[in-house]
Structures are given as C-alpha cells and as structure tokens.
Amino acid sequence: MTGAPTVFVATCDLAAQLRGRAVPISREEAVLRSGTGWVPADLAITCFGPIADNVFGSAGDLRLLPEPATRVDVPADGDLPGTRLYLANQTLPDGTPWECCPRTFLTTAVEELRAELGITVVASFEHEFTLAGLPSSPPFSFERYRSAEPFGSGLVTLLDQAGFDPETWLPEYGDAQHEITLSPADAVVAADRAVLLRELVRDLARRRGLRACFAPLLDPIGTGNGVHIHLSFRDADGNPALYDPARPGGLSELGARFSAGILRHAPALTAVTAASPVSFLRLTPHRWSAGGVFLAERNREAMLRICPGTGPDAGAQLNLEYRAADATANPWLALGVLLRAGLEGIRRGYPEPTVWPESATEEELSAVPPLPKTQDEALNALEKDEVVGGFFAPDLLTTYLAVKRAEAVSLGGLDDAERCRRIADVH
C-alpha cells in the first residue's frame, strides 16, 4: 500500500471494541520495534465509553507492541485515505508481557495445550451480522445476495487481499442478516482475524452507505446474530486428533474429555463468550442458538455440536462448534477460556459427556442443564467458579467483572427492546 498517512496500532478490549493509537507512516519501523504508549486503566473502558471502577487508577504505563503478522492494509476509497492496521500485545514498558493483556491470555492457552498434550489448535469464527440500508428480501435468497452488492464482493475481495482466506459469504435467515466465514487457521491467527473482520466489515459498510451491526439481538423477538467458534486439533505429526470413527459421534477420547471441561464450566464460560446483558435473551431454546448445555451430533440447539466431515477427509474435517457466543465477546478471551476449560476436562479426568444423537427428541433433551438466563447469573457463576476464575490474572478478572457490571448498570431500568437498541448502537 502506498500513500497511507497513518498506521493504527490496536488492541481489542474487554468490551470487544477495537481501540488504539495512530502514528504517522514515517514512524512505522519505530513503532514496530518499541510500540506506542498505552494506559492500564484503558482496560476498564466500557462499551458505552465511561471507565468502570478499576484497580489501576491513574497509575502505570504500558506499550501497545504491534504483531507484524497481523498487518492489514485498508485501501483508499474516494476522499477517504487508506490506512494500515496492526494488532498489538499490551506489554510492560520493557516489552515483557502484561498479565492482563487479552491477546497474551490466548497465546498462553495455546502454548499450554501444545506443551501438555502435544497438539496444535485449529480454529475458525463464523460471524452473523445485519446490514441496514438495503431493501427487504427473503432469507437465504439470491435477491438478498445481489442486493448487498457492491458491498458483498468488495468485502470478499478485501478479506482475500488481507490473507484472511474467506470461505463463504451468504444471505442469512434474519431480516437483513448475512454471514461471513473464514477458513480454519492457527488459533491465534483465527482470533486475530475475528477481531479485525468486525472492523473491516463495519468500515466497508460505512463507505457504501450502509450500517453493519453484529449485536446479538436487534429486537427481543427477532433473529439474533451469533458467532460460532469451531475447534479442531492436530497432533505432533499433523494428524487429526479429534476423530475416532469407532466412538460416539466420531469424537476421540481426547475430544470427549475436552468437551467435558467446557460443559462442566458452561455457566462461567458464557459470562465471557456471551458478554452483554442482551446476549442471554438469544440463548434460549428454539432460537437455533444454544438451547442447553449438552454435546450433540448435528443439533443446532446444542451448546457444543460435533460437525461431521465428509468423504475421504472426514477425519480432518470433523470439528467441535461452540454455539453460545456472540460478537460482544473479545475473541481472544472467548477462545482462550474454551481452550483452558477443555484442558481442565482432560487434566481432571472429567467423565465423558453423553453424545446426543441427531435423532434425540425435545422430550429426551428436556433434562439437560440450561444455560444462564441472565448476564448477572453468568457473571456470578464466573465469580464463584474457582477453576475458570483461576484462568485469569486477578486484576484481569476483577476488571472484567467491573466492566460487565458497569455496562449492565448503564442499561438499568430499560425494557428489553431499549436494551437491545443500546447494545446495537455499539456493536
């Protein structure tokens, strides 16, 4: 890219917002070496803007140290200049890791799985969002697909040029809803792409006179926008580690024990993966989101779904899909807590969960544990779950709880429709 006047160095915070600082393009090499300044209390900024009460106060200094491999060039468009984006780790002034950095939280989890189990994590994030400003059109229709042009083809081109390897772009079920999926990648790369994708979608939509919204619900009775997190593993020789055709659902023992950890700690995990007060309006039965805490084959009401492969590569394609997530969550934290919870399932030898078959009836599934009904219930579960709470540095956990509770207070006294609108304004 030539002619870009600035470089934007960014992190994704606990409110799932991309925040950072711009520097002149002439300082790119310097900022790649030593980063740019940041403040610990920035971690406590809520999605609505104010800073929640926090342990940092006005003291301390950090650096946003860019990760060169995350570079994305956003091209100039009319009178709008291009820019260059980097995602950064938040570090101490001497460049050593800061224990409250969300990206470091994920990279450490990935390293733990590699060190203890000898496996590489492969992941992908599926994002649903709505595009306001388009004419009404039927679900999944060619009409909706075409009505989104030139936005749709522009988005695919932008993601392709950024090296994100887009897999599908499709009209979805809900009003004005669309979905973009990226091909599976190394876990940290997949989460980095999830962070950047949301901003690239919103930015391109603005430039096309549209408004993209990733909020979990725009209307309490409407169709929600989810983020489905897909996971699979490779062993040290590069072979799929989740697949065993002789076992229920084709899921290996390692996969079953990993799933047990996620299911055991589901209430606390949802406080991180479904991170807004309106998220839990969506996580109810019959919404095709997540109707209960169970593991199933090909059932989109399951919190954790086994996605089968096909043909001679079935083993390599099989993956776990975590469905109780949305774009109010920080992708680094969401994937990090899932990996750590799964690792605990293996470490602690949790009993293997039932793999509910595709044929399971609603009556048969009526006894499975429900998800939290409210964000407050999920946050209380996170606070009380010593295992999941132990994944976090104490200051990170304290700040996360403070941010989420401050956001909830900001919506106090509002009805569900107004709460959905306020969250949609942000996301």
Q: Where are the alpha helices (DSSP H) in 265-393?
A: 266-273, 279-282, 314-317, 331-347, 375-384, 386-389
- E strands, 253-374, where? 292-297, 302-307, 319-322, 355-356
Task: Indicate the pTM of the whole model.
Answer: 0.96
| Burial class for 209, CB neighbours closer than 10 Å (0-12, 13-18, 19+) | exposed
Q: Tell me how far apart the alpha carbons of residues 37 and 54 are, in angstroms, rounded to a whole number.
A: 19
Nearest to 330, CA basis, from 271, 260, 287, 278:
271
pLDDT tens track, the chain, 427 positions:
456 899 999 999 999 999 999 999 999 999 999 999 999 999 999 999 999 999 999 999 999 999 999 999 999 998 899 999 999 999 999 999 999 999 999 999 999 999 999 999 999 999 999 999 999 999 999 999 999 999 999 999 999 999 999 999 999 999 999 999 999 999 999 999 999 999 999 999 999 999 999 999 999 988 899 999 999 999 999 999 999 999 999 999 999 999 999 999 999 999 999 999 999 999 988 888 888 999 999 888 999 999 987 777 878 889 999 999 999 999 999 999 999 999 999 999 999 999 999 888 888 888 899 999 999 999 999 999 999 999 999 999 999 999 999 999 999 999 999 999 999 999 9
Instruction: Write the CA distances from 190 to 40, 306, 329, integer angstroms.
Output: 26, 19, 15
Angle between helices 394-410 and 375-384 in degrees, nearest 10: 160
For the chain, the maximum distance between any two Cα atoms, rounded to a whole number of angstroms, is: 64
Q: What is the three-class DSSP state of 237?
A: coil
Token pair for 146 = 């075409």
In this structure, the dihedral spanned by the alpha carbons of residues 86, 87, 91 and 95, taken in order and rounded to 10 degrees, is -40
How many C-beta atoms surround the C-beta of residue 25 within 10 A? Answer: 17
Whole-angstrom distance, CA of residue 164 vs CA of residue 190: 9
Nearest to 40 by CA among 56, 24, 22, 63: 56
Helix (H, G, I), strand (E, B) or coil at 4: coil
Pick left, alpha or beta for residue 53 (phi over 0 → left; psi -120 to 50 → alpha; otherwise beta): beta
E-state strands within 191-250: 211-213, 227-234
